[in-house]
Amino acid sequence: MSVTTGRNVVVVGTQWGDEGKGKLVDWLTESAQGVVRFQGGHNAGHTLVINGVKTALNLIPSGIMRPGVKCYIGNGVVLSTEQLFKEIERLEAIGVEVRSRLRVSEACPLILPFHAALDIAREAVRESAGSEKIGTTGKGIGPAYEDKIARRALRVQDLKYPERFAAKLRVLLELHNHILTTFLKAPAIDFDAVYAQAMVDAERLRPMMADVSRELNDANRAGANLLFEGAQGTLLDVDHGTYPFVTSSNCVAGNAAAGSGVGPGMLHYVLGITKAYCTRVGGGPFPTELDWQTPGTVGYHLSTVGAEKGVVTGRSRRCGWFDAALLKRSAQVNGLSGLCITKLDVLDGIEKLELCTGYELDGETTDILPLGADEIERCKPIYETLEGWKESTVGITQYDKLPINARLYLQRIEQVTGVPIHMVSTSPDRDHTIMMRHPYLAD
């Protein structure tokens, strides 16, 4: 008897996050039966615009907006039950059925109130000491991953056993309260309040708890197409990003396997999402950054026309020119099969476009982003100038309808990065997408 397995696609951000992954995941879910989050926590923010209506998601996979599609939160995600239920209730209020379609790995580490308290207190100490803040969201993501790596985390499966949960919580809280009160001069967290809320959440979460690894493998063998949804971006990866100005998880495509419990051979295509320019939230080096706060400048145009505000924090995103040398690094560590260029329409009306092809670093030139923040901070971008276009690209869905200079710009990105462009997004709306090669059909 022959068995037909499904085709699986991984979607990752190739810059510092905020590239528009949510829209593309939602769009590609039309061809998928399951969508998987495999890392990060509710520090991620995906905004979807469907029929002109905005929906913001932080934790639940973007595929939830497609009726009938199963959604999975894999073991690589650190889970705040408080945030999860807030998001579920928000979706249910607009008529989206969630609970019957969402599966949560029992191996997910839990984010508890003391994790956020540690996160916030540490940033405050850095600031008061005159050190540069990392720029975390203050949601406890880093401290939760620390507990995971130190092998002391409470996990979703622990919620099923109240006595076991209480015993582990007492030990963990004793450690973290010591750090909070002694070193960070912050208030202690109350055991009874944390435990009581956890037990309430346990009952609500129990129907959604699952062996996600097994379910994904079973679905794939049954012929289901799966979509693996990354959060943040490659340059925020804890190993491959602008360390230490990074997030606390691996954002690269390879972590889709480890973070969900599937084999690497099940990852058939990797789609890299990149803006037609660059943005970054928070601290850290940014070689092509422009003045984005002064009216009349190109940076201000990118910031305002692109509506560059963080979904989670509301912070303004720093803006700059497209960086092909940065993208080369992302292509290398992700093994990109193809690119999707988003927000091409934001460049409409800019007379001259600068494209970074490499850097000067300590008297030498390089065509790829170095490793680590210290070296990147010393990089001076090398630009080539391309002609812009005056015509509007908003809502265009056919490649040959784009202005000639827009097409030349995209072709130059392909040439410099060595990665083919398979999709182009021309507005936030779900349907305003140009498809040159479909990830679920590509060889």
CA distance 442 to 104: 30
178 by Cβ neighbours in 10 Å (0-12 / 13-18 / 19+) ranks as exposed
User: Would residue 46 show up in a list of annotated catalytic residues for this protein?
Assistant: yes
18 belongs to the catalytic site: yes
Q: Which of 443, 433, 440, 442 is nearest to 31 (CA)?
A: 440
Polymer length of the chain: 443
Tokens of 346: 């934001």
Report the C-alpha gap between 174 and 177 in whole angstroms.
Answer: 5
Instruction: Give the span between the Cα atoms of 169 and 177, in whole angstroms.
Output: 12
Question: Which whole-number Å values give the CA distances from 327 to 78, 152, 288, in the listed order?
Answer: 27, 36, 13
Cβ neighbours of 152 (radius 10 Å): 14
Structure tokens at 215: 């379910």
Contact assessment for residue 3 and residue 20, using Cβ atoms and an 8 Å cutoff: no
Q: Reduced to 3 states, what is the DSSP secondary structure of residue 346?
A: helix
Q: Which of 18, 147, 201, 429 is catalytic?
A: 18
Q: How many CB atoms lie within 10 A of CB 255?
A: 22
Q: Beta 338-342 vs 352-361: how paired, if at all?
A: unpaired
403: number of Cβ within 10 Å:
17
Catalytic residue among 42, 46, 240, 268: 46
The answer to whether the bond into 244 is cis (omega within 30° of 0) is yes
What burial letters (b/e) apply to 182-201, b meaning 16+ CB within 10 Å? eebebeebeeeebbeebeeb
- Tell me the catalytic residues: 18, 46
